[in-house]
Structure 1
């Protein structure tokens, strides 16, 4: 008998995970084709243990006809490798034969990601898991150089272990797998970039913001790669999120938390976390939300005269606002007692301010502003206190008016009250209404009685008139005497104040009685001439008025009748006799121009209309020279006098003259003389002026300037 195994070779190479089939057959060599007795065929493993079919039928042993038995391995695993023996027995005859199953697996890189980013300063593993049957040998190269295993480098199943990896270990690594017996070889290149976990540079800090305004919290960390940021709020560290439409915006790239706008509820503790793929860092901060003051209750108040009134202002804010009351047009009230204790300002509690006014008076009616402020801002609101009272007349109310026949005259009555009063006019115990004699014009606070005074009515039209003002709180009367106006008395005095050949200045004192109406002025009559003057010194009657009588004849006696004038007419006269002086030379010229010139190169001289001395002025002589002013105020001449003349026009008298070609910022002394046929006026008072600052120009430049 002969035993054969198929496949007919000593060794079978099976791939891991694939299947294998071995057939063991007994052949009869006698040639008759018949086997004697029962044939027993068995398969044994390398442990000489009979192989039978397993439960999951991965390994199956089955007859293949009467003379063969087949061993089938449906899925080869690594432990299946070894010798398999087939044995038979026929009667007393036995024999066996073996075949070797060698298991192999192609090399593969099961896990070798690229690139890889280990965390700096750790014992890192550059992952490269290689499998194969038989197991391949693994070696490494770094930037083309072979890595020698030792304290820094160690080969593990997962890959290459690098102790205390740093940025210097960044580069290209080659993971090499090879099986030298079979000559198989493969490699995997891996780029390694060491990543640095975030280090917080600055956190949100302790910030303050104002509710209603925009505010941002920032944090910043350094890492590689750059971190993203998250923000958490409160002790429970609630993660904050945002969308484009939200009030709170988070920029995870810049580390920015923005409130648009801030609310009081945003107050609290915040934590900023910076993260990347190898670590994280965080920093805490806080946000104190300040709330600007807001007055949420302040009402208008109405009280009766003599009652107590209270205005209450309620506000809120953070920090608690400072509060005070201010009456319009006045300084703020102080806390506590004001106005001798009649007005009291107090807090009840800190956010409520009261102002209490005892026995209110009409003048307490006003706007009262509640002023609140804190470090976040300020808010003001106004309450109006209305005091109701019966009508009142001002203490300085007019009590007498004057009028006369033929005149339309108004008597005005002023009264105030709350509510606004209505008015009535009474005369001779009779209520007046509009007619041909009386017309009444009334507004909110006054009433005017217009009286037409006729000659026929003078027996009763004058006398006492009553203005009655009333409202629902009461009424008050004001008595006004309507008196007949008269012509003014003669002036109380008239005297010559100044005498020249052509002019008299007469000083006139006001009359003892002006007739009850305004003094308009005076009238002077002489030689069938009448001149009216308006009074100029109403505020100082003791000085009287200086009246100029011009164009008189020299050495001539005049008889003046001086009368007082008022709205009624012209009164009786006071007589004044005066004689003008003889003709003389002109009087000294009085300079009235400013002593500081506005121009660097010229000066405008101005003088009063001169007193001629009785003869017309023919010309003026103007002298000027440069001077230096000493510390004691005395002037020192720097040159001789420069003289100019100006002809006079008797029909158009001169009162000004312009000096030109002067030096800038220079003091000049000035004299001016008037000349007539009689002689020349004496020197005027010493007069020094100064030109304005400016660039000095030559005479040639001055000539060009004049022609331009």
Structure 2
């Protein structure tokens, strides 16, 4: 039976080929570096894999190597794993103890034993033990570029600089653990290649090392002392060269404190800037700047001098009497000691030494013990004008300090600012007489009449005193003529006495008006001017009054008119061709004087209106400059109509030229416009030519005829000719060209209509309002014919007017 099986196997070998084991990688000797992982796979080269059994790996001692669950294999650092088509031998980290023969075995057809071995040899690969890739020699020092390399077998080492072989000898010396550079210079900067070769294994490895020669810090030119100002912020520079660039620190010499962490200090370590905030006097002293880099460090001492700003230590108000010498001492501190000067506010500064005013001297003295400057402002023969605020100014390099004090000049009383020299009263009206005494210190005021002190031992209920000084008022009720006369105000202080006299006089109504001049007379109006009364009664004239009547009527039927002084004295509403009698009187605060002798004037007959008065502001040459280039607004005052109402205005305007002292019309066309309403007071001339003179004539018309023309010459502004409208000129009161006066009139009329409507509603609904009052009046007594004659004027208000004028107590 066995023979038959063997025979079948031999027959299978003849048919399928001889089975054998194959190890991959296939080299019989495997040279591998230690510390690396390794895998060898073993498979049977046969067609029918099912005939192969017991595939195993054996270690160098012949023991079967198990998988990673086998304790022995794990401890040996070696195990097997089944893989498709074979069995893998795995060494996770190859060590020298793993060197030797390893055998793969298998059974074929349960009868034939198959085996194949592989020899594993180990070696130590090139290892860079001490070869930093960046190294930094120090300038002018010997430096070894470190490159310690190990391998087994031992390697051979050579050097390249920037890709070129370094020849032996010279400043470069190859040593077992590096390349020695003798007295390194900056020219030695570059890339050095340390190359290791193991000939036995054919291993080659290179390490590129960047070499940069470092230079220690060296300070550039910088100030040995720096001046800073108290309370400010200052920066101190520290600059050094070196490779690599140095970093900086600052140390205060007296305390050895690192200022990078100190309050109020900050250090920029890359630029060397020391910043001090809110500098104080304790910051004065020596400071050390330390510059450090990989090549070393350098130190530099800087003296910081702190300037102390000036401070005013003492400076006080003083008081001094006129004629004496005043001294204003002002002490100030600071470093360096300040200079002290003075200035009276609103005046120039007083410098040290004598001044333009030889009464004034400024001196400076030093108090080294107290570290102060004492400035003194001396003013001899003090005057009242020297009173005021004086500023002490202390100045040094750190700035200036200011302080004000008041120099009070004491003087005896003065009534220089008491304008009252006389006072007036009448008809037992009380009157105040007042005096103001200027003095320092304040004066006490008493009032005297002759040798008698009023309200002292002398008591009179008709005399009252208000205020003891510096302002005092005496209120007098002159019930008798004995109270009129001279009163003396007496002011006294420790420096002297002053007297001021006020005369109380009795006022009277003014005397007769000397003359009433006839200035202008028209058919319905008359204008006067007055030559005032010879005696004003002690008080200024306030008003003038006229009483007038038709010649054949009695003075009881006369009408009155009163004008304030300096107003136009015009009577209106008179009848043409009628003779009137006029008499005049003047009024002051006491009352009206007597009527002057009557005079009569006959009014002219009805005629054409007076010449219209054109309102304009002409220049020196009599030409009015228009602000516009193409139009002008003409305004005028309504003239007197001379007894017949004005029914229209006629306006004519023509371009003119100034020839031989006269304005002559040019060849251009003249324009004429008529305004049918007598209420017009403005008119806009349109379509004018720029930079052109125009003569304008304005006439007023009533049914008797045209007035003489009011004339004005205007000149339009320069500019491009703009003909806004070729239509005829229109009144300023029409459309968009309404004047401001017309607009106001329309608004007032509208308000008046609204008020009438409201009043009518009140009358109908509540039986109240203005209409109700009128109705009630109409039911009462009839208005007298005499009142009707007066119209809006006054009738005989003059006889009792004196009772209205009184002087009230103040």
TM-score class normalised by the smaller sequence? 0.5 to 0.7
Cα contact 1:175–1:190 (8 A) shared by 2: no
* Bigger mean CA offset, 414-423 vs 197-206: 197-206
Richer in strand (by share): 1
Displacement, 1:333? 4.7
Cα contact 2:363–2:377 (8 A) shared by 1: yes
Partner SS for 2:401: strand
Displacement, 1:300? 0.5
Work out which of the residue numbers 167, 171, 179 in structure 1 matches 2:191: 171
Displacement, 1:548? 2.8
> Residues 4-153 of structure 1: matches in 2 within 5 Å?
112-119=131-138, 124-128=143-147, 138-142=157-161, 146-151=165-170, 153=172
Cα contact 1:230–1:240 (8 A) shared by 2: no
Work out which of the residue numbers 477, 482, 489 in structure 2 matches 1:452: 477
1:154 matched to 2:173: yes
> Residues 374-393 of structure 1: matches in 2 within 5 Å?
376-393=398-415
1:426-479 deviations in whole A, cap 9, x for unaligned?
4472532898634433286311222234xxx22332223232333455544433
1:641 matched to 2:682: no
Hey, what does 1:214 align to over in structure 2?
233
Cα contact 1:593–1:604 (8 A) shared by 2: no
Cα contact 1:231–1:239 (8 A) shared by 2: no
Hey, what does 2:613 align to over in structure 1?
590
Cα contact 2:422–2:505 (8 A) shared by 1: yes
Work out which of the residue numbers 535, 540, 552 in structure 1 matches 2:565: 535
Work out which of the residue numbers 444, 467, 471 in structure 2 matches 1:422: 444
1:646-704 deviations in whole A, cap 9, x for unaligned?
2333xxx443233456677776553322222233233433321435869957659999x
- Cα gap change, 1:174 to 1:338, in 2 (>3 Å): closer
Displacement, 1:158? 6.7
Superposition TM-score, scaled by structure 2 size? 0.60
Partner SS for 1:563: strand
Hey, what does 1:688 align to over in structure 2?
714
Displacement, 1:609? 3.7
Partner SS for 1:671: strand
Work out which of the residue numbers 258, 265, 274 in structure 2 matches 1:257: 274
1:515 matched to 2:545: no
Cα contact 2:689–2:716 (8 A) shared by 1: no
Work out which of the residue numbers 409, 412, 423 in structure 1 matches 2:431: 409
Partner SS for 1:154: strand
Displacement, 1:297? 2.1
Hey, what does 1:67 align to over in structure 2?
none
- Cα gap change, 1:107 to 1:647, in 2 (>3 Å): closer
Hey, what does 1:621 align to over in structure 2?
650
Cα contact 1:419–1:471 (8 A) shared by 2: yes
Counterparts of 2:692 and 2:307 in 1: how far apart (Å)?
Answer: 64
Hey, what does 2:681 align to over in structure 1?
655
Counterparts of 1:176 and 1:609 in 2: how far apart (Å)?
Answer: 126
- Cα gap change, 1:592 to 1:110, in 2 (>3 Å): same
Displacement, 1:151? 4.2
Counterparts of 1:629 and 1:207 in 2: how far apart (Å)?
Answer: 80
Counterparts of 1:197 and 1:664 in 2: how far apart (Å)?
Answer: 87
1:334-387 deviations in whole A, cap 9, x for unaligned?
665568634444444694432223343444332222245566544321111223
Counterparts of 1:112 and 1:698 in 2: how far apart (Å)?
Answer: 99
Partner SS for 1:572: coil
1:455-509 deviations in whole A, cap 9, x for unaligned?
xx22332223232333455544433221111112234443233444443332223
Counterparts of 1:202 and 1:671 in 2: how far apart (Å)?
Answer: 91
Gaps of 5+ in 1: 1-105, 537-544
1:511-559 deviations in whole A, cap 9, x for unaligned?
33322223313222222222222223xxxxxxxx763333444455444
Hey, what does 2:324 align to over in structure 1?
307
1:400 matched to 2:430: no
> Residues 417-496 of structure 1: matches in 2 within 5 Å?
417-427=439-449, 429-432=452-455, 437-442=462-467, 445-453=470-478, 457-496=479-518
Hey, what does 1:671 align to over in structure 2?
697
Hey, what does 1:605 align to over in structure 2?
634
Hey, what does 1:15 align to over in structure 2?
none
1:77-96 deviations in whole A, cap 9, x for unaligned?
xxxxxxxxxxxxxxxxxxxx
Work out which of the residue numbers 232, 238, 248 in structure 2 matches 1:229: 248
Q: CA RMSD in A?
A: 4.8
Cα contact 2:654–2:665 (8 A) shared by 1: no
How many residue pairs align between the two structures?
Answer: 584
Displacement, 1:569? 0.8
Superposition TM-score, scaled by structure 1 size? 0.68
Cα contact 1:128–1:175 (8 A) shared by 2: no
Richer in helix (by share): 2
